[in-house]
Amino acid sequence: MFDLFSWAAGRHANRLQRLAVQYVDHDWPIARLAVPRNGLCPCELRECIDPHLVHTQSPAISTTTMAENAFCSTRWAIAILARDFDVLELPAQLGAPLHHHLKTQCPTSIAPTTRRWQFFVTAGSVPRDQLAAAGGRLIDSPSGWVIAPGTYTEGTGRTRWLTPPYVTHWRPYQRHDAIDAVLTRIDPSGPTAPTRPGSNIVADALA
């Protein structure tokens, strides 16, 4: 008898394996990610609320064989490790105009529920304090990671690529004046820095 559930699970596992192999084949290290759903986590620890790496001390998955073995079932999702690049996470009022300016130059993803934009850039592109002053977050090595686009979580919705990495030949963005223009207009010590509308900052910077 045809088992539709098993067939669908098998297709999903094959797709997950292909994605994992694609990342490591282009030198983007990954890890297994546990994603809680409906109060249950695949790691079987009841207290889990947020997605987390399965084994924080395990070496990165960086070869085809490791990727195929790690994602032979649908139990785990994929986390991209920020080992060789940084990820700039920005709120929508800065992320949207920055993406409009960079377009296909920078691998970019978005989480629809939180409306947070993620830009994959060369390591050391933006100082952490400068990014924090803009309402953003720096995700970097040695322990930084992000949810791989295509993954659904209850907190973010289904994260998706806006500019997939193959468009940039799997290269993170080499910082130029766009990020400088957006972020350096904010004075972290200024009394109005945290409340100045991000859209005005970006509009002025990119004009």
Q: What is the pLDDT of residues 95-108, one digit of tens each?
A: 999 999 999 999 99
Is there a single domain that holds both residue 87 and residue 77? no
Give CA–CA dist 118/103, Å, rounded: 13
Give CA–CA dist 88/102, Å, rounded: 13
Query: pLDDT of 149-168, one tens digit each?
Result: 999 999 999 999 999 999 99
CB crowding 197-207: b at 16 or more within 10 Å, else e: ebeebbeebee
Structural domains counted in the chain: 2
pLDDT value for 133: 92
| Last residue in a domain, options 81, 97, 128 | 81
Give CA–CA dist 40/116, Å, rounded: 25
The CA-atom distances, in angstroms, between 67 and each of 16, 30, 64, 173 are 9, 8, 5, 25
19-23, 160-164, 185-189, 200-204: least confidently modelled range: 200-204
| Last residue in a domain, options 30, 62, 81 | 81
Whether 3 shows a pLDDT value over 60: the answer reads no
pLDDT value for 19: 96
Query: pLDDT of 49-105, one tens digit each?
Result: 899 999 877 789 999 999 999 999 889 999 999 999 999 999 999 999 999 999 999
- With CA atoms as reference, report the closest residue to 88 among 73, 100, 99, 74: 99
The answer to whether the CB of 149 falls within 8 A of the CB of 116 is: no
- Rounded to an integer, the average pLDDT of 114-127 is 94
Residue 114, token pair as written in the block: 């939180």
Alpha-helical runs (H) found in the chain: 4-25, 64-70, 92-102, 128-133, 177-183, 198-206
- Rounded to an integer, the average pLDDT of 9-30 is 87
Query: pLDDT of 173-198, one tens digit each?
Result: 997 666 666 666 666 565 545 444 44
Residue with tokens 């759903």: 37
The parent domain of residue 121 ranges over 83-207
Average of per-residue pLDDT values in the chain: 84
| Last residue in a domain, options 81, 106, 133 | 81
